[in-house]
Amino acid sequence: MTTVSLTDVASYLPGEPVPAAFYTECPGAEDKLRDHPMFKIPPTRHHVPRDETNADMVERAVQPLIERHGSRAIRGVDVLLVHSQLPDLPFVGAGTEVARRLGLNPEWLVDVANAGCASFVHMLKLARQILTTTDAKSALICNAQSAAGQWFTQSEVRRLAQAAIPGDGCGVGYVTTSAGAPVLDVEARHIGQYAGDMTVAVDDGRKYWEPGESQLRIGFTDSSVAKVLARGNRLVPEAVTAVCRRLGVPTSGIDVLITNQPNRTFLRNWREALQLPAERHLDTFDEYGNLFGAAIPVTLDRAVRARQVEDGDLVVLAGFAHAGDFAGAVAVRWHGGQA
């Protein structure tokens, strides 16, 4: 069977760090959810400027891969998978623009719209499937998140508790048919019963594309927050446990766990459920906030560069999406990667 490896990762963060005071000192910053553990504010995050697009961020994130593996290898990828948390244009994904910018001509090009905060896991599974069942030899998977500086800085939304949590950034993965850092197993669960439970809201009741003066926000309520918290606490440990069970290792045997990072509550609950000490569950929440789908590749990139991931480590990447409509985990035996 063809070995598929997560050969390397890279990332990009836009602009200078934005302090919590940007939100806490905003006039009228009052919200009954402000003190909820789900909305505890990280010290800093990054925001895209108005004129920076998803394709811009992907192009910048990929540059270290080009420097390490050569432009010929990256331009020759057979598969390009892109997830944009907030698309820049209606109807059009970022994938074809990314291909144009990077000079790619992939046989497979997919803009992934589902799996949200766990889309890196989802795309890694897709890449693995394509590389093991076709003649394709390499893939580039890209997560771009630009909602923090574009959506959550709106004048009215900025006052809400939800606005201070997200940050912007981009993470990319280079996947090849090699024995480098083999993907050992993937668990991916699409959970239809929770579809539609994540909602957006506007005060005037219009469709989000219709003209109006109210500003689009996520439709958080006390009830919906409680549901998301309960589901998230369960779904991620379940996915990780399923992968470990098939590999024949206890969850406590994971060397490095990296998840999406909605808030500190989830991070703590997940590692406790999986019986892992904090030093083995890595995150960048305090520096970058909730990076949505980009959190996993960005944090992995930072961990590898900081030598928090060692050769031979069992690395598990996991997360859940939206209000629980997707959850997944992937196990990788780390080898090589960045210098």
- CA 20, 25, 28, 33 torsion-angle sign: positive
At residue 337, the pLDDT reads 54
pLDDT tens for 92-138 read 999 999 999 999 999 999 999 999 999 999 999 999 999 999 999 99
Q: Can you tell me the mean pLDDT for 52-67?
A: 98
At residue 27, the pLDDT reads 80
At residue 109, the pLDDT reads 98
Q: With respect to CATH, is domain 5-179 assigned 3.40.47.10?
A: yes
What is the pLDDT confidence band of residue 339, given thresholds at 50, 70 and 90? very low
Answer yes or no: is pLDDT of 338 > 70: no
First to last CA, the chain: 29
pLDDT tens for 227-247 read 999 999 999 999 999 999 999
Q: Can you tell me the mean pLDDT for 243-270?
A: 98
**Identical fold at 5-179 and 184-333?**
yes
Q: Catalogue the long-range contacts made by 65-73 (C-beta closer than 8 Å, 24 or more residues apart).
A: 65/8, 65/10, 65/140, 65/172, 65/174, 68/8, 68/338, 68/339, 69/7, 69/8, 69/174, 71/103, 73/138
Sorted by where each begins, the domain ranges of the chain are: 5-179, 184-333
**Assigned fold of 184-333:** Peroxisomal Thiolase; Chain A, domain 1 (3.40.47)
Predicted model pTM: 0.96
Q: Which of 36, 146, 129, 133 is nearest to 81 (CA)?
A: 129
CA atoms within 13 A on the CB side of 174: 27
Local structure of 4: helix, strand or coil: coil
